[in-house]
Structure 1
Amino acid sequence: MGKKTIRVSDFSGTVLRPEDEVVRIVVLEHPDLVAGPVQLEATPVEVESIDDAALDVAVVEVYDQPDGEPRRVVLTASEFDAMATDTPMAQLLKTAERVRPPKARKSVERLDYGTIEHAGKPHRGRVTEEEARLVREQLDEVNKRLADAGIRQIDPADPEHAARYGFPTAS
């Protein structure tokens, strides 16, 4: 028994043949979107009017609560422009103070190389005595894990590895 997959346009339900051109649309925001962005597929003809239907909008964040989260508001550009009564909005936007995006915090998980699950993995930092001891005492297990992960293995005969992990060197 075999399976046959038939692709259809999410917009019209039309069957898409393998040779048909398909356009991918990612929906980032929509009032009915509850669990984050989704993707849809359609034919180019079905979405050719998407640019014509596009609105000129202003997306603004309103910070009206001290230390609170801002409210994001989308309104037509003309409605937003009308709020500027003294100086035209185009002029205000040219001369307004720039907002720097918040610095992205790197939430890099620090690996503990002093544990058997990470001992021997290549890293720039200093090899602790605990990591070196684990590598020396459990070299076969460490090398198997490294090989399984596609990482270089530790060779006690390699002078660099011997010095890094405290293997005795032949003089």
Structure 2
Amino acid sequence: MGKKTIHVSDFTGTVLQADDEVVRVVVLEHPDLVAGPVQLDATPAEIESIDDAALDVAVVEVHDRHGGDEPRRVVLTASEFDAMATDTPMAQLLRTAERVKPPRARKGAEKIDYGTVEHAGKPHRGRVTEEEARIVRDQLDEVNKRLADAGLRQVDPTDPEHASRYGFPTPA
């Protein structure tokens, strides 16, 4: 018995032929997205108008007492944001405003132990230990929920690379 895999467009459900070009669309933020970024497959024709539909937006973080310890992230049209500047044009404000420095990396940062439930399955370049692989196999749902909550890729036991990396049965 053999298996046949049929690829379809996530946008239209159209069956994709082996020689069709497939475009990967990663959805980073959306009101209905609850567990981190996802990937959708489409044809170039299905998304050809995506750049025309793009909006000029401003993405800002608001650091105030309403957010507690965490800033609120707000997306608004660039023109709405620009209209908030009534004394000096926004373009000038942005050119002369104080730059935000990225947080400094801690010197002597602790080495991450991927052989723990807290870190197992996180993407890394190092070798996967048997302990990490066992945790990922035995607690896959918990590991994937934690990865999704952190906005990281999830472990897919049907992906040949993940199957090999974490010791899942290799898909046929």
TM-score where L is the length of structure 1: 0.61
In 2, Cα distance between equivalents of 1:41 and 1:104: 36
Residue in 2 that maps onto 1:109: 112
In 1, Cα distance between equivalents of 2:34 and 2:110: 26
Residue by residue, what CA displacement relative to the aligned partner does 1:97-135 show, whole Å, maximum 9, x if unpaired? Answer: 00011124544237xxxxxxxxxxxxxxxxxxxxxxxxx
Structure whose alpha-carbon radius of gyration is higher: 1
Residue in 1 that maps onto 2:62: 62
Runs of at least 5 residues in structure 2 that lack an aligned partner in the other structure: 114-172
Q: What are the residue-to-residue correspondences of 1:24-63 with 2, within 5 Å? A: 24-63=24-63
Residue in 1 that maps onto 2:156: none
In 2, Cα distance between equivalents of 1:5 and 1:67: 49
What residue identity is the alignment partner of 1:14? Answer: T
| Cα drift, residue 67 of structure 1 | 6.2
Residue in 2 that maps onto 1:78: 79
Residue in 2 that maps onto 1:13: 13
TM-align CA RMSD: 1.6
What residue identity is the alignment partner of 1:24? Answer: R
In 2, Cα distance between equivalents of 1:74 and 1:6: 38
Seq. identity, %: 80
| Cα drift, residue 68 of structure 1 | 1.6
Residue by residue, what CA displacement relative to the aligned partner does 1:35-87 show, whole Å, maximum 9, x if unpaired? Answer: 00000000000000000000000000000128621000000000000000000
Relative to structure 1, is the Cα distance of residues 20 and 69 closer, same or farther in structure 2, using a 3 angstrom cutoff? Answer: same
What residue identity is the alignment partner of 2:96? Answer: T
Relative to structure 1, is the Cα distance of residues 11 and 85 closer, same or farther in structure 2, using a 3 angstrom cutoff? Answer: same
Q: Which moved more, 1:100-109 or 1:45-54?
A: 100-109
In 2, Cα distance between equivalents of 1:107 and 1:28: 29
SS at match of 2:52: helix
TM-score where L is the length of structure 2: 0.61
SS at match of 1:26: strand
